[in-house]
Amino acid sequence: MIEGFGVDIVEVKRIKAAVKKFGARFLGKIYTKRELAYCKSKGIPEQHLAARFAAKEAVYKAFGGDGKNPIAWTDVEIINDKTGKPVVVLKGTAEKLMFKRGVKKAVVSLSHTRNYAVGNCILLK
């Protein structure tokens, strides 16, 4: 059963500009070390950063945040399994919300082009 659904689209140039302007402060606030290592290993890291940003937003939207229990950016981690499939790892407040709402799994899909990145999330009970 579907408990929640979220989608987000991000302009890659917006993420690139934030990295240029705020550097490590922005990256450390939004991404985990594993996410950064993966994205930096790619030819055009900002496309992968943007896709993860969109996926994190999609997860937030799927949970429909109540404002009382804010989810930190790094509480939602988007990694890849051995086959390359994106996987969501929830920690902290996000993990607590998952248990509270009876969510068994959060599934994401990512895609990006030179200019845009999109992320989708479905929360399953």
Find the CATH number of the domain harbouring 22: 3.90.470.20
Q: Of 16, 61, 91, 96, which residue is the catalytic one?
A: 61
125 belongs to the catalytic site:
no
> 77 has which bridge partners?
89
Domain that holds residue 117: 2-124
CA distance 48 to 75: 18
- Per-residue pLDDT of 18-39, as tens digits, reads 999 999 999 999 999 999 999 9
Give the mean pLDDT of 87-96.
95
pTM of the model: 0.94
Amino acid at 14: R
Give the per-residue pLDDT at 34. Answer: 97
Token output for 4? 């929640």
Q: Is the pLDDT of residue 89 over 90?
A: yes
Q: Is the pLDDT of residue 125 over 90?
A: yes
| Overall number of domains in the chain | 1
CA distance 55 to 106: 11
CA distance 96 to 10: 27
104 belongs to the catalytic site:
no
Cα 24 versus chain centre, distance: 18
Give the per-residue pLDDT at 66. Answer: 62
- Per-residue pLDDT of 36-70, as tens digits, reads 999 999 999 999 999 999 999 999 999 986 667 78
Token output for 22? 């705020």
Q: Of 40, 85, 112, 125, which residue is the catalytic one?
A: 112
Residue ranges in the chain assigned as alpha helix (H): 12-22, 24-30, 33-40, 45-63, 92-101
Q: Which of 111, 102, 108, 112 is nearest to 121 (CA)?
A: 108
Q: Is the pLDDT of residue 90 over 80?
A: yes
